[in-house]
Amino acid sequence: MSQKQNILQNKLPKHIAIIMDGNGRWAKGKGKFRIFGHQNGVKAVRETTEACAELGVKYLTLYAFSTENWSRPKEEINALMELLVSTIRKETPTLMKNGIRLQSIGNKEDLPAKCRKELEESIKETEQNTRMTLILALSYSAKWDIVNSVKEIAKQVSLGLVKPEEIDENIINNHLSTAAYPHPELMIRTSGEQRISNFLLWEIAYSELYFSSKLWPDFTKEDLFEAVINYQNRERRFGKTSEQMAQSV
Ligand code: FPP
């Protein structure tokens, strides 16, 4: 029986972020090339996107390609970029049908022209959709984003538009590529690894972390539901005591 019915609508995370890890190991376990793992990872992308839309989660961010991933073998990078292009092209009609808006974070300039074009077209086509926002982190790393934010603010200081003493969390936040989205309440990483790998460092200051031992291509809707139930059973205190939290509801 599906775990979906055990999910409380009034405690649903607005934003879930996922580090999709384990494609390579999944393929290796089957005696195949790494790209076979990425190809099968697309099914898990579909499953989790559908699961989030069904539940009513408003934002889903997927770590699809990190700044550090550029140092992988050239053939793997090319195959991943091809896969991104074909997946975005193939899935855009489904995004339209389901009211899902596509967005991206990361350095688009780094992407091959074909990939950037496909991405930008899909972002444009889906921009009026309001049911859910799917954010692809592509050529993204949190430190890259924070450095850019600091550079932008420094420019404004040098132009006299902002005083150094005015710099606060909001100003830094508003210059990140994630400024338009709420911070994720839940971050999931698959494959049994327990680290953040330069993903959304600023935004996960108070996120709940959930580590699944499943390799990404094996991650299903039910696994997503299980992660949400686990999240709903946690007490989020934001530095306060349990008693203070009880008083504030
Ligand atoms: C991590 O597994 C996975 C990636 C770096 C790529 C994820 C890409 C996809 C699932 C393909 C398409 C995605 C979208 C959003 C269209 P890994 O290669 O690091 O695995 P390993 O740790 O076992 O080596």
189 Cβ inside 6 Å of ligand 1: no
The architecture (CATH level 2) of 10-141+186-231 comes to 3-Layer(aba) Sandwich (3.40)
SS3 30: coil
pLDDT for the residue numbered 247: 84
Exposure class string for 230-246: b at 16+ Cβ within 10 A, else e:
ebbeeeeeeeeeeeeee
Of 18, 19, 20, 35, which is best to mutate to test ligand 1, by the most ligand atoms within 8 angstroms of its C-beta? 20
Mean pLDDT of 145-172: 98
20 lines ligand 1 (CB under 6 A): yes
| Pocket lining: 25 vs ligand 1, CB cutoff 6 Å | yes
Give residue-wise pLDDT tens across range 202-232. Answer: 999 999 999 999 999 999 999 999 999 999 9
Q: What is the pLDDT of residues 30-88, one digit of tens each?
A: 999 999 999 999 999 999 999 999 999 999 999 999 999 999 999 999 999 999 999 99
At 232-247, the pLDDT tens digits run 999 878 888 888 888 8
137 lines ligand 1 (CB under 6 A): no
Q: What is the C-alpha separation between 7 and 3, in angstroms, rounded? A: 7
- Structure pTM? 0.95
Rounded Cα distance, 229 and 217, in Å: 21
Tell me which residue has its CA closest to atom 1 in ligand 1. Answer: 21
Q: Where are the domains of the chain?
A: 10-141+186-231
What distance in angstroms lies between residue 10's CA and the mean position of ligand 1's atoms?
32
The residues that are catalytic are 21, 69
Site to probe by mutation for ligand 1, drawn from 18, 19, 21 as the one with most ligand atoms within 8 Å of Cβ, is 21
User: Which residue stretches of 32-175 are H helix?
Assistant: 34-55, 74-97, 113-125, 142-158, 169-174
- What DSSP string describes 138-202? EEE-HHHHHHHHHHHHHHHHHTTSS-GGG--HHHHHHTSTTTTSPPPSEEEE-TT----TTSSTT
3-state SS track over 200-234: CCCCCCCCEEEECCCCHHHCCHHHHHHHHHHHHCC
Closest CA to 206 of 168, 246, 172, 240: 240
**The length of the chain, given as a count of residues:** 249
Residue 74 confidence (pLDDT): 96
User: Which 3 state secondary structure label does DSSP give 45?
Assistant: helix
Spatial separation of the C-alpha atoms in residues 228 and 14, rounded to whole Å: 11
In our burial notation (b when 16+ CB lie closer than 10 A, e otherwise), range 156-189 reads beeeeebeeeeeeeeebeebbbbeebebbbbbbb
Nearest CA to ligand 1 atom 15: 64
The answer to whether 209 and 38 have CB atoms below 8 angstroms apart is: no
